Structure 1
Amino acid sequence: MIRWIFLFSVFGRTFCQSNTDVQNLLTQLFTTNSYNYLIRPSTDQSVTKEVYISFTLYGITGIDEIEQKLTTTGWLEIHWQDDLLTWTPSSYGGLQELYVPQGNIWKPDISLQNGFSDLKELGSKFIQVNIQSDGQVTWRPFQVFSTKCSLDSTYFPFDRQTCDLVFVAWSLDRHDVFLAQYSDGIDISEELQSHGEWEIITSSATDEVESYETKVKFTIVIQRKPLFVIMNFVLPIILLSLLDIFTFKIPADIGERLGYTITVWLSFAVFLTIVSASLPQSSETVPIMSVYIIIQLVMGTLIVLISTVESGLITLSAEEPVYRILKMLTLRMRGKKVSISEESKTDAVAEKDVTWKEAITALDKLLFWICFAIFVLSTAIAFLVAGLKYK
């Protein structure tokens, strides 16, 4: 055992950093060397300082479709070389890295260019910056980012949105600081907090160079989860529309028909006041689903008006002549082909047999299939067009 201890003491070295080593290093860097965080950390001030940025997403906090705002939570990982913060580890007990508050060293004045609030310094005073012995600095400011995002709700609730987070060195031009992406896209945290309404589809990161500045743009593509909207809003609207159409299956001479029609229409109107709070409230684009709802509401209103007129016509006495168009429709429903020339010859007896009740019944059959066809076509078109954006 003594032999091994002797050999290790001769041929090996051990490092044990003490608080004295850390204190001596801090004194050397910030006092003896007179480190100044106002000076760009390059021994050659004519050389551009390269700064690399990556973004890790922790969660989507919310989306405001009226204000066109995306709120996300995450942190940036920013790397650069500080030529003024280097040391020899063997001189300080093998100390390889150091942590200091972010306000004690030079940092690029990176800010969110398309932010929703005033310009503020990234991070907080208590956040520590990691410094390696070779001068490599890593800064991880955690923040809630509120960014402007142009939201297009045309395909609601199957819409997909693309939003950008653009970071720029606000005061320093591209000859002083050059910003570049550190990763190909947005890094997703392993502890990502899922959002009840939106899910992340893809992301990307790009460098952009303009005349006086450089910027890094992180793009995130999100898609709405349509299940809640379909189950709680779309499906009830479809069922109410069907109830409205089946009004024509109720005999017009039954007094409850008009009450049924008005009740369904009022239910539709009350439900729409609830649905309107969940629809995207923006005048920039009109959701296809809003157009679909308007079509169903207009059709429901026409059904109420037609039912009201029919209720008045069916109470007319037998002496009142049935309108010619209703007579022709009724005879066609009987399976007889009627033309103007034939009508003037031999069908006078058949026309006299047409009553108001039979005429209204024939009209109801025709209107039922017309409204049902409009309902099926509008529903299919709305879902096909909106669903094209959903994958």
Structure 2
Amino acid sequence: MILLMKLVFLCCCSKRELVSAFTLQDEANLQASILTGYNKDLKPGWDRDVPLQINIMFFLFSIKEFDFNTGKLSVTGLFFINWTDERLAWNPTNHNHTNMTTIPQNKLWLPEFINVNPYDDLTGIRQDHLTIHLQYSGMCAWFAIQSFEVVCNADVTKYPFDTQTCALRFYVWGYFSHEIDLVISSPEVDLSLYVENSIWEIRDATIYLRLDYWKNKEIIVKLEMKRRSPYYVVSLIIPIMAVSFLMAFVFILPHDSGERVGFSTTVLLSIIVYLTIIQDLLPESSEPNISALGYLLVTYVVSGAFVVVEVIITLRFHRKSSENPVPRCLRCILIFFRRKRRKNVSVKPIGTCSKTNKTDNDENGGDENNEVQWGEVLTLFDTFCFIFTLFVFFMSALIYLCVVLT
């Protein structure tokens, strides 16, 4: 259908160039003739019981801007609209074979297309510098090009792997459905003149009609856009995970180095800086959902705060004097892990069973008698914190990737 309409328009233009017998004066006389007594305030159509058919197509040229914080989508597009106005028909033979002319749009009747979800004020698509291409049959072809700024509430749940769906909504203002019959010439938005955007990729672009509450037809231009995410993966996701991964290795640093608190605090501040950057990029609203990346960073911040507390506790253990006995609860925990490490009992000859049992009993009973040092408690605590911090990191990253990639 789109190709057919383009061919018709090209044929009309070609016909005008081939039939070049008419002159400037002929065209001037033609416009004076058809516009004499013409009332642009009246809707075309001799029979007022028959609705005027208006055919609509939409061409998308570019996506200028999509601001998440303000919910502003700015695009440039063109409406190709045509209808028949019998009052403007003429016989070409009476005007030296003049079969087509161009008239400024402010001299003819136009359907009042109003954008009803604008970012600022209600706007139409009338422009004083636009013209109407008029054929001898009374067919009016209007190429209305304009930049549209509409409201589009972003769903940042899967940022920066998100897909946004935005719509431009239009009404033909001032007429009811029994007076105007809107017809979509093609359900697909024409992207033949579209210039690719560096951030957004058009996944789907359609135009359709929808009945509102009062059964009036509303024109919907729907755009489905997917963010180009490689830049964000390289500059945001990978650095965040790399910095957060370092948090666990603070428990491998020697206690005597004195760098544990500084290292853990520096990593925590780095994660907070990334959290601030994300907050500046995303809108403040919580609907429909908060970004999963925000949850990931908050998880890393909270775990980083616990790591700082754990580092301070390990330093306190390290400074404990050997004269201070280890509390009974810590001794019990350490003895339990000692016994776990001694589960691998080697096979002995039959003749040595009694001796082996005696030795094992001595060793098992000796666990409680052996003195537990603070160094052993500190090593066990560091090992537990290291494993637990890595577990939190990998589980948080895995949950985030499952959310954004599904």
TM-score (norm: length of structure 2): 0.85
Q: Distance in 1 between matches of 2:51 and 2:340?
A: 91
Is 1:355 the counterpart of 2:358 in the alignment?
no
The count of corresponding residues between Structure 1 and Structure 2 is 370
Residue 318 (structure 1) aligns with = 322
CA contact (8 A) 1:252 1:361 kept: no
Residue 48 (structure 2) aligns with = 45
Q: Distance in 2 between matches of 1:331 and 1:280?
A: 53
- Report the CA distance between 1:304 and its aligned residue: 0.6
- Report the CA distance between 1:17 and its aligned residue: 1.3
Q: Distance in 2 between matches of 1:318 and 1:38?
A: 100
Q: Distance in 2 between matches of 1:335 and 1:195?
A: 64
Residue 203 (structure 1) aligns with = 205
Alpha-carbon deviations, 1:176-206, whole Å to 9, x = none? 112221211211143x232222111012222
Is 1:383 the counterpart of 2:387 in the alignment?
no
Pick from 127, 130, 133 the counterpart of residue 133 of structure 2. Answer: 130
User: 1:241-260 counterparts in 2 under 5 A?
Assistant: 241-260=244-263
Q: Distance in 2 between matches of 1:270 and 1:69?
A: 26
Mark the CA change 1:64 to 1:308 in structure 2 (over 3 Å): closer, same or farther.
same
Q: Distance in 2 between matches of 1:188 and 1:325?
A: 72
Q: Distance in 1 between matches of 2:19 and 2:233?
A: 67
Q: Secondary structure at the match of 2:268?
A: helix
Q: Distance in 2 between matches of 1:252 and 1:355?
A: 16
CA contact (8 A) 1:185 1:218 kept: no
Is 1:296 the counterpart of 2:316 in the alignment?
no
Mark the CA change 1:140 to 1:335 in structure 2 (over 3 Å): closer, same or farther.
farther
CA contact (8 A) 2:68 2:281 kept: no
Residue 359 (structure 2) aligns with = none
CA RMSD of aligned residues (A): 2.4
- Report the CA distance between 1:273 and its aligned residue: 2.6
User: 1:1-391 counterparts in 2 under 5 A?
Assistant: 16-31=21-36, 34-190=37-193, 192-210=194-212, 211-284=214-287, 285-331=289-335, 333-334=337-338, 336=340, 345-350=365-370, 352=371, 354-388=372-406
- Report the CA distance between 1:356 and its aligned residue: 1.3
Residue 9 (structure 1) aligns with = none
Give the counterpart letter for 1:309 in structure 2: I
Q: Distance in 1 between matches of 2:20 and 2:317?
A: 104
Mark the CA change 1:195 to 1:368 in structure 2 (over 3 Å): closer, same or farther.
same
Give the counterpart letter for 1:204 in structure 2: T
CA contact (8 A) 1:15 1:93 kept: no
Give the counterpart letter for 1:61 in structure 2: K
Q: Secondary structure at the match of 1:185?
A: coil
Give the counterpart letter for 2:147 in structure 1: V
Q: Distance in 1 between matches of 2:278 and 2:124?
A: 41
Alpha-carbon deviations, 1:306-341, whole Å to 9, x = none? 101110121111121223444344445546469xxx
Q: Distance in 1 between matches of 2:70 and 2:256?
A: 53
Q: Distance in 2 between matches of 1:50 and 1:366?
A: 75
Q: Secondary structure at the match of 2:122?
A: coil
Give the counterpart letter for 1:25 in structure 2: L
Q: Secondary structure at the match of 2:28?
A: helix
Q: Distance in 1 between matches of 2:327 and 2:341?
A: 17
Give the counterpart letter for 1:30 in structure 2: L
Alpha-carbon deviations, 1:181-235, whole Å to 9, x = none? 1211211143x23222211101222222343522221111011122222211211
Give the counterpart letter for 2:388 in structure 1: I
By percentage of residues, which structure has more helix? 2
Mark the CA change 1:264 to 1:43 in structure 2 (over 3 Å): closer, same or farther.
same
CA contact (8 A) 2:69 2:281 kept: no
Give the counterpart letter for 2:373 in structure 1: T
- Report the CA distance between 1:282 and its aligned residue: 2.4
Percent of aligned pairs sharing the same letter = 29
- Report the CA distance between 1:247 and its aligned residue: 0.7
CA contact (8 A) 2:271 2:297 kept: no
Q: Distance in 1 between matches of 2:130 and 2:363?
A: 94
Alpha-carbon deviations, 1:276-314, whole Å to 9, x = none? 322343222211110000001111111011101110121
CA contact (8 A) 1:59 1:74 kept: yes
Residue 349 (structure 2) aligns with = none
Alpha-carbon deviations, 1:336-382, whole Å to 9, x = none? 469xxx999542233x1x32122111111111111111111110110
Alpha-carbon deviations, 1:104-145, whole Å to 9, x = none? 100111111222232333131111111111111111111111
- Report the CA distance between 1:242 and its aligned residue: 1.1
Mark the CA change 1:270 to 1:133 in structure 2 (over 3 Å): closer, same or farther.
same
Give the counterpart letter for 2:322 in structure 1: A
Q: Secondary structure at the match of 1:277?
A: helix
Give the counterpart letter for 1:156 in structure 2: Y
Give the counterpart letter for 2:383 in structure 1: K
Alpha-carbon deviations, 1:6-42, whole Å to 9, x = none? xxxxxxx9751101210111111012xx111011111
CA contact (8 A) 1:206 1:218 kept: yes
